A and B are shown apart, each in its own frame.
Chain A
Amino acid sequence: MKKTALCLLIAWFSLTGAAWAGSTIKIPVAAAFTGQLASFGEGIKNAAILKGEEINAAGGINGKKVKIVLEDELCDPKEAATVATKLANDPKVSIVIGHLCSSASLAALPIYRDAKLPAISPASTNVNIGKMSPFYFRNVYKDDFQGLFLARYAKLARGFDKVAVFYEVNDYSMGLMTAFQKEAKKLGIKVLGTEAYTSDTTDFKPQLTKFKMMNPHAIFIPGYAPQGTLIMSQARALGMKNVAFFGADGLDDDLMLKNPDAEGLFVTTPFLPDKAGPHAAGFIAAYKKKYGKEPNWFAANAYDGVGLAAQAIAAVGEDRVKIRDYLASLNSKEKAYKGVAGNTYFDENGDCLKEAFVKEIRNGKWVSAEKQLQ
């Protein structure tokens, strides 16, 4: 029992201690900075910190300095919930940037709702997040839009009409697949077959062999990069030389560049350095200067998210509900927040409509595809 008492004491202090912080404006960023999806989180982290510094350099918000706090939730729903509670009960926090994965968002969302704490997700694309809470916003498009866009692009720009879908068993991937299939049926793309894999699969040959016999024009991989690159290598090894591959923003990762078999892959992305607006140039330059590489779309959205939060706080102060109302009031092109990744304005669900771009790998580099769909 003494041990218990001791441990409780330690726990107590570490927990209560966690809440006390300096008298600055805290903008917590909750995402996965370690674990399987760390490479996505990295972009978010970098951009958020960058934006924070820029704001402080410009004299902060109403004279107050901004402090970017990183909260790691490993894309694990349970972690996300704990982190969310921690933030929700921190009086210093008036808005959250996060979360990354849709499952994490779904777990954190009720807590923010109950605490009346607004949150802006830079990356959760799951369809039914928006309508579940008035306090949850996102400056990224939804899966259904992305899937629809991909189907159109595949048909109209590339002229594929026999496609196989190789999806991962997770919310993101399956959301994309359903949206894609729906649109594909409309456009008359024939989906020859759909096969599944899990995140810890390394042997994709059985499924690929099946696809091979269907000889499709292209294989749609609505998954993440780590598996995507394996799939492509193994497909080539099976002798599927003239099959095209395409995916969604999940494959938008420099990991793909290491793989010679990934040549010709094209993916959707909400942000393209060379397609981005004029005020993006500064961001791209600064980002390159600080981290020595091109910002990906996660970075861009996080950058905009922090910017948006700062703007809101500057406008209405640190009251959570006021901030929420302010964000909700940005509901048309005119009022939109002009970010580096296009204009951000919200519909009644707190979702936003953004245009998607397509980029492809040409001799080992990400370049924007010459055929875009506008």
Chain B
Amino acid sequence: MMDLKKMQKNPRFFFLGLVFLALLLPWLPMGGSTNYVIRVLTTAVLYMVLALGLNIVPGFTGLLDLGYVGFYGIGAYTSGLLAIHYNMGLWLILPLAALNGALWGILLGAPTLRLTGDYFAIVTFGFSELVVLVIRNELWLTRGPMGLPGIPPPTLFGHPLTRDWEFFYLILFILLIVLAVVTRLQDSRVGRAWFAIREDEIAAQCCGVNLIRYKVTAFAISASIGAMAGAFYAKWFKFIHPDMFKFWESILILCLIVFGGMGSIAGTMLGALILIPLSEVLRAVLPQSLFSARYLIYGLVLVLMMRWRPEGLIPFERAQARKAWQAKERLGS
């Protein structure tokens, strides 16, 4: 892929170009359906954030986490409840939701993280199901299946955000923050420890990496990112419902990172950018009877990717090679 080369040449320029393009989007002419397109793209970016968050666990640390949507839901309900009962602003809610997510991440992670791959997956899955069950049945807290309607919109300097492009910019902003967090972690001691665990747990241990601590850290950070995404989601939709946080979501997000390339940040985002609008394309293309079965495609993506290109569109190795290349530039040797 040639423009990946370009990315290697001057990644910063390329990146800024993308951001600029994104900022430009709402003002392009689209035959009256701007808001619709923007809404779809907002969803896509939201899933980019989610994918980046999930990526930390299976991508960086190499553990299959099927319970991610649980944290997403926790974040959404934290945000919704805080907004309704204490009408807090988004800027207070985001960190609180993140904290709550991290807390639950640690509570779940600490005891389960020593399990072997597939048992871990199953336990996380059970966790997310339990979260949904609790949300469903604890009416006094979440109003259960009645959902949580009438969440006030976020405000910026007293001016409430209602238009679609405003939300688009907001989620872009969140994406940039998360992106910064993830990249910085990736290039730090923590990130290296994660990669080491992913590559070879025992060798990592013998290099002085404290498995449990770093796994729990990864889990907590991933959870808090998920919760932040959830917080935004609640503020954006203004209505949340237990059905929005079903197991499907976890699979969908997993599908994004598998498709894009587990462990490579660019890949994850690319995956989200391709697969999420896909479902809208399908809505336009498929007849209604087939549209309800569109998850079939995602299942197929998982299987085929694993069969023919398990490393995804932008493989982890290539990301690492690029990093090495940049290090070479830096050291000038």
Contact = CB atoms under 8 A, between A and B. Distances in A.
A/B touching: CB–CB < 8 A: yes
B3 interface: yes
Interface residues of A, number: 48
Given A34-B288, A34-B292, A107-B239, A169 B32 contact: no
B288 A19 contact: no
20 contacts: A1-B1, A1-B4, A3-B274, A4-B274, A7-B273, A11-B278, A15-B36, A15-B281, A19-B36, A33-B288, A77-B147, A82-B283, A85-B35, A85-B36, A86-B33, A90-B33, A106-B149, A132-B149, A169-B136, A169-B137
B229 to A, nearest CB: 14
Given A19-B31, A72-B288, A85-B39, 5 more contacts: A10-B281, A14-B281, A16-B30, A33-B288, A91-B32
Given A3-B274, A72-B291, A89 B36 contact: yes
A202 interface: no
Given A85-B35, A85-B164, A11 B147 contact: no
Contacts of B273: 4, 7-8
B203 interface: no
A3 B271 CA distance: 10
Contact of A15 (B149, B243, B280): B280
Contacts of B1: 1-2
A169 B133 CA distance: 10
A222 B211 CA distance: 52
Contacts of A14: 280-281, 284-285
Report, nearest first, the 6 A-B pairs whose CB atoms are least far apart: A19-B33, A11-B277, A14-B284, A34-B292, A89-B35, A1-B3
Given A14-B284, A14-B285, A77-B147, A103 B37 contact: no
A70 interface: yes
Question: What's the dominant secondary structure at chain B's contact region?
Answer: helix
A88 interface: yes
Given A1-B3, A7-B274, A169-B137, A77 B239 contact: yes
Give the one of B1, B4, B39 with max A CB within 10 A: B39
Interface in B270-310: 270, 273-274, 277-278, 280-281, 283-285, 288-289, 291-292
A57 interface: no
Nearest to B285: A14
A361 B164 CA distance: 50
A159 interface: no
A171 B284 contact: no
Contacts of B239: 77, 106-107, 109-110
Interface string B181-218: 00000000000000000000000000000000000000
A76 B284 CA distance: 17
Contact of A4 (B31, B146, B270): B270
Interface string B123-155: 000000000000011010000111101100000
Contacts of B39: 82, 85
A82 B243 CA distance: 16
Given A3-B274, A14-B284, A174 B146 contact: yes
A174 B145 contact: yes
Contacts of B34: 89
A24 interface: no
Interface string A168-196: 01110011000000000000000000001
Contacts of A3: 270, 274, 313
A58 interface: no
A82 B280 contact: yes
Contacts, number: 128
Nearest to B288: A72
Contacts of A72: 288, 291-292
Contact of B36 (A86, A126, A128): A86
A107 B79 CA distance: 17
A39 to B, nearest CB: 14
A59 interface: no
Nearest to B269: A4
Interface in A102-143: 103, 106-107, 109-110, 114, 126, 128, 132
A34 B33 contact: no
A17 B32 CA distance: 10
Interface string A1-39: 111100110111011111110000000000001110000
Interface string A66-83: 000010101011100110
Q: Which of B137, B238, B280, B285 has the most CB of A within 10 A?
A: B238
Nearest to A196: B137
Contacts of B241: 77, 103, 106-107
Contacts of A15: 30, 33, 36-37, 40, 277, 280-281, 284
B127 to A, nearest CB: 18
A3 B261 CA distance: 14
Contacts of B31: 16-17, 19-20
A10 B285 CA distance: 11
Given A1-B4, A18-B33, A114 B281 contact: no
Interface in B216-248: 237-239, 241, 243-244
Contacts of B30: 12, 15-16
A107 B144 CA distance: 15
A2 B3 contact: yes
Nearest to A127: B146
B276 to A, nearest CB: 9
Nearest to B148: A106
B122 to A, nearest CB: 19
Given A18-B33, A81-B237, A7 B278 contact: yes
Contacts of B284: 14-15, 17-18
B37 A171 contact: no
